Amino acid sequence: MVTNTNCDGCGRTNTNKVSYTKKRYCNKCFLKLVEKRVRKDLRINKKITKKTIELLNDDSKEFRVAKQLLKNIFGSHKTIKEVKKLTKETLTPTNLDREIKLQLESYLNNKKYQKKTLCILDNVLEEEIITFCRIKKLAIGKKEEKNKLIENIEKKYHGTKFALSKSFEKITENLPKKDQKNI
C-alpha cells in the first residue's frame, strides 16, 4: 500500500503528522495551523486589550512557544513583557492536555477547579507544542504526565480532547456568574 507523505495543504514533502487527524502538514503549514488557532482564540475571547502584553515566564516550552507566537502575531504593535507574578491581566502559558487533565480530575474527585484568569495556548495540544519547538529549534524540556483515561479514549476516538474542552466550556457558560470562577 502506497501512502502519501506530502503536505495536505501545499503538497510539499517533509511532513508532520498530528494524532487527531489523518492530514499531514509541512513545517510552514503546521506553524500556520497553530498560529491561526491561537489568533482565533485571542480574538474571540478578547484576551488582549492593552498595548503591553504581560506573559507569565515559567520557563516552560509553553512560555517559549507563546512568546514566539505573540511576536509573530503582533510584531512591533504590542510590547511583550515577561513577568514572574500572576495578575488578572497576565497571560498564562498552558496547553490543552494540561487544562483537560486538571478539569477532568477535579470533576472526578468532586473538587472545584480554579481556572487561571487568562490562558494562552489552551487550545493547542502538548504534541503540537513539542512539534512547534522542534521546527523553531526551541528548548522542549520535559514532557508532562498524562491522564491515562483521556489518552486511552483519544487513541480510540480521535479529537476527544478538543470535544472535552468544548464541553467544559459549555458547562462553564451555563453556570451562574458567581460559580464560573470555581468550576
Third-level CATH fold of 15-179: Rossmann fold (3.40.50)
Which pLDDT score, from 0 to 100, does residue 64 have? Answer: 92
Q: Which parts of the chain sit beneath pLDDT 50?
A: 1-2
The pLDDT tens digits for 113-133 are 777 678 888 889 888 999 999
Which pLDDT score, from 0 to 100, does residue 65 have? Answer: 92
Which pLDDT score, from 0 to 100, does residue 2 have? Answer: 42
The pLDDT tens digits for 87-96 are 888 888 988 8
CB 122 within 8 A of CB 115: no
> What residues are paired with 114 via a beta bridge?
182
Instruction: Report the predicted TM-score, pTM, of the whole model to 2 decimal places.
Output: 0.81
Single-letter amino acid code for the residue at 10:
C
